[in-house]
Amino acid sequence: MTLLAQPLKLACGATLPNRIAKVAMTEGLSDARLFATERHNRVYRQWSEGGAGLLITGNVMIDRWVMERPGNVAIDPVDRFRPGYEGFERLKAYAAAGTVAGNHLWMQISHAGRQSPWYVAKRPLAPSAVQLDLLGNYKTPRPLREEEILDFIQRFANVARVAREAGFTGAQIHSAHGYLLSSFLSPVTNTRSDDWGGSLANRARFLIESIRATRKAVGADFPLAIKLNSDDFRRGGFSFDDCLKLIEMLNAETLDLIEISGGTYEQPKLLGADGRSEDALPLKASTVKREAYFLEYAQAIRQVAKMPILMPGGFRSRAGMEAALESGDVDVIGLARPLCTMPDLPKKLLAGSIEEAPAFERTFAPRSQRFTARLINLLGQMGWYYAHIEDLGDGKLLKLDRSITAAFFRYLKNEYGTAWRMQRS
């Protein structure tokens, strides 16, 4: 049996049937009320049948006013998601479709914080009033009041409880990529002087209290994970040293798995891309040469982490995945982009019938080093993957020769159009 095919028993008692996870990708497929739709069911049925032992949903928001993107599913207000109510029944159908093959399906629970664009959030919410300066897309956030933080902690817990009731088999709290919990961890975006800012223990309080409240709400036998940055890759931000110290603190919590990523919108290392050069911190040199760009960090994390480690970010070859598992530094391999164009890639990897995920990464202006050009290029690429997720959701044949320019304009049209419909519903 290949290492990829080995099951993994989690501390809560649940077992992942193999070591491949489809990690979170925001779908943008909700209806104007932010309910899940038949399009989610279609995509997740294909991913379930595609063979990954674990599927993690894209961002599901705890706050309908400060979302990551138009078209996110939001479970807010929570009390409208009781059995029998439409939003809840939609989640049930989603969970049923996403587990048809007996795999796990975990809901990624999230708050976008300062990274919610102007056409979604009139006033983003964040630890401090530190604006995200990117293409003029983000307004200055309002610092959260303590009672709001306490309310959000309960919302993470309540949304996880709803997920469990609806049939999702686990939950992941999103604390990476610069969204709300992640921005609390960073001294650049969290300049508070109260109990929620300053020392690492204070910056991590929101996350740790959210984990505790969520565990209480879902019970001891339900998989609970977090997604965390290895590093923000930004001068003065949440550092690798912070990450190691935080993981030591997290060992005392009841987490079943930790997913390690990195970067924020300003430094989009999660996608292997570079951000603005003035405040960037580079990836370790040896990592750049590797297929999986956070692997280097896993070695040190393994020394401190008591929980299993899930790692996405650049894995493409079966040999690379097997080697990462073999090293013992990583327990589960995360895949995102390759599953937009080949939803049954995990099955093929497990059967040994494919050696490498086909590469489709496209660019607008590959040689331009200008920050804006690189950023637009990245948005075009994201639009390209979103378009494929939509095609899967519509049951269409994938259009692999779609141009990145077409994907970019389709992305803009969709974002603004969906935001407009959302605001009118």
Listed in order, strand segments (DSSP E) in 218-360 are 224-229, 257-261, 309-311, 332-335
For ligand FMN, the closer CB: 58 or 87: 58
For ligand FMN, the closer CB: 174 or 197: 174
Residue 159, judged by CB atoms within 10 A of its CB (0-12, 13-18, 19+), counts as buried
Q: CB of 108: closest distance to ligand FMN in angstroms? A: 6
Q: CB of 12: closest distance to ligand FMN in angstroms? A: 21
Q: Are strands 8-9 and 15-16 parallel, antiparallel or unpaired?
A: antiparallel
Q: Could you tell me how far CA 242 lies from the centroid of its own chain?
A: 20
Residues that bind ligand FMN (CB under 6 A): 23-26, 58-59, 108, 174, 176-177, 227, 261, 270-271, 312-315, 335-337, 382, 385-386
Structure tokens at 108: 């990624």
For ligand FMN, the closer CB: 23 or 95: 23
Got the DSSP string for 175-199?
E-TTSHHHHHH-TTT----STTSSS
For ligand FMN, the closer CB: 182 or 197: 182
Q: CB of 24: closest distance to ligand FMN in angstroms? A: 3
For ligand FMN, the closer CB: 10 or 181: 181
Q: CB of 257: closest distance to ligand FMN in angstroms? A: 14
* Closest to 313 in 3D by CA, of 324, 326, 301, 300: 324
Q: Are strands 73-74 and 332-335 parallel, antiparallel or unpaired?
A: unpaired
**CA 238/CA 234 separation, integer angstroms:** 8
Q: CB of 312: closest distance to ligand FMN in angstroms? A: 4
For ligand FMN, the closer CB: 208 or 292: 292
Q: CB of 394: closest distance to ligand FMN in angstroms? A: 16
Q: CB of 270: closest distance to ligand FMN in angstroms? A: 5
**CA 96/CA 168 separation, integer angstroms:** 8
* Closest to 377 in 3D by CA, of 419, 407, 353, 414: 407
For ligand FMN, the closer CB: 8 or 107: 107
